[in-house]
Chains A and B, each alone.
Chain A
């Protein structure tokens, strides 16, 4: 029996969602293509002239092409820290799941603390200064690795429990060294959770604002989120450029989302609920 009810509820839900979840993004896109005076009215009128390209160029040119530098810095931090994060957390998750030793309890307690506790910022700044990594890309990358490790390891650990040990043993009998078992046999099988990890962590690190604010001050170190924060005061009279900047910052996660939507959802739920 077919009924109209699913369509009716669906239509109402769509209408509400359009207002609540779509409208803010339409608002951003609309302001981003307006002229300065039109954007200052902050309304939903369509622009008289579509200034997409002009505003785009203006935002990129601002402050000596600061946004270009910011994209470079943000991309570098994201790519390198995610790469390190993936390798190290897969290794830890693998041994934690497979080998039950006293170290597991220690590692688990430490990682659990990392999930819950906020980092102690000023002592970390002091430490980074002492070892010469404050205000450096290397320091920022290592910080991102340290802060996001817990989540990655726990995701890997729960996924590795679904891979049969028989595979490891078969490889062992075939004469593989422990290192080879991991890199040749196990790591390739972790691909689904690796993709999830890459997507989730790169979005988190790309969008991170607080840590660069603390650990990476300085004009030459600017990241994409920090440009937004800096432009907020600078462009308080030029909303068109401010919103063009927001639009540009929203595009990378949007692209990632379009390609990996399914994977994010599957990964988050399997890692989250089954523990």
Chain B
């Protein structure tokens, strides 16, 4: 691809092109991120920060509702990521097969990706109303009384996760469609001649060869799920009780309450969580990629 050649004394690719972006990015993203490591160890009122060691973290892990936020974040991320990957792949297989109205269907599935998350959150909150919402009204007409989607503490987090999948599956589908398009039809041809069934073709050819796309979808949706805030905030505000609180909503609540140090500790915990989950996954994938 790109061979490294000796640079002429004055390169036609000026390094100052980096500078404006580096200043904005460095000052407004990198610097706060790094300084959060310090502020998370302080009692802080935005003007004076008093060093208190690991007290914020101790408090975070000793409050049951804060720990619940951590657990919920993991549940939410795994649920949404898993469902988006599976549904996205199945939809992509369907939407690359030879069916009627294929282009229109692709458009339909992708559209929610572009719509306001808050708008979707409010809409589904109304549709999930326990007695008046059209979801439960429809279920009742079919003879199945529906649950309190957002009012039942055991269910609220999963209801929001389902809406998240509804909104985001179009992006996963799109990435899988691109991945499927890169698989040579020769493989399927050969498999058909050897008498492989459709199911065998899916598991032996499609699934292994679509892996780069799978990794992208899983990584993106895991990161998105771990950071998720706006949909949860629009639909439940973390409730009922603290049953659907995630780290991002805990960060916001602690910020609102004026516990800036604790809020920042929440941020650092979220950094750590993302690093611990995503980095090994990326490294593992890259190594397998090299081996092959």
Contacts and interface: CB of A to CB of B under 8 A. Distances in A.
A136 interface: no
A148 B177 CA distance: 25
What's the dominant secondary structure at chain A's contact region?
Answer: helix
28 contacts: A10-B101, A14-B105, A21-B112, A27-B134, A42-B126, A94-B13, A95-B15, A95-B18, A99-B13, A100-B2, A103-B15, A122-B44, A125-B46, A126-B39, A126-B46, A165-B2, A172-B12, A178-B12, A209-B118, A210-B230, A228-B119, A243-B123, A246-B123, A249-B116, A269-B175, A272-B178, A273-B178, A273-B212
Interface stretch (A54-62, A63-71, A138-146, A188-196): A138-146
A175 to B, nearest CB: 12
B32 A110 contact: no
Contact of B32 (A123, A161, A207): A123
Interface in B188-238: 212-213, 216, 223, 227, 229-230, 233-234
Interface of B: 1-2, 4, 7, 11-15, 17-18, 20-22, 24-33, 35-36, 39, 44, 46, 94, 97-102, 104-112, 114-120, 122-124, 126-127, 129, 132-134, 137, 166, 171, 174-175, 177-179, 182, 212-213, 216, 223, 227, 229-230, 233-234, 248, 251-252, 255, 260, 263-264, 267-268, 270-271, 274-275, 278
Interface residues of A, number: 91
Interface string A251-275: 0011011000100010011101100
Nearest to A118: B227
Contacts, number: 248
A20 B182 CA distance: 29
Q: Which of A44, A119, A161, A165 has the most CB of B within 10 A?
A: A119
Top 8 nearest A-B pairs (CB, nearest first) are A10-B100, A269-B178, A120-B36, A99-B13, A146-B28, A123-B32, A91-B17, A10-B99
B33 A257 contact: no
A147 interface: yes
B28 A142 contact: yes
A275 to B, nearest CB: 8
A13 interface: yes
B115 to A, nearest CB: 5
A142 B4 CA distance: 35
A181 B107 contact: no
Contacts of B274: 116-118
A256 B115 CA distance: 11
Contact of A118 (B100, B106, B126, B270): B270
B33 A119 contact: yes
Nearest to B227: A118
Contacts of A38: none
A257 B109 contact: no
Given A22-B108, A210-B229, A256 B114 contact: yes
Nearest to B170: A21
A107 interface: yes
Interface of A: 6-7, 9-11, 13-14, 17, 20-22, 24, 27-28, 41-44, 88-89, 91-92, 94-95, 97-101, 103, 107, 110, 113-127, 129, 142-143, 145-147, 149, 153, 161, 165, 168, 172, 178-179, 181-182, 203, 207, 209-210, 213-214, 224-225, 228-229, 232, 239, 242-243, 246, 249-250, 253-254, 256-257, 261, 265, 268-270, 272-273
A127 to B, nearest CB: 6
A27 B127 CA distance: 9
A250 B115 contact: yes
B236 to A, nearest CB: 12
Given A103-B15, A123-B264, A127-B32, A207 B116 contact: yes
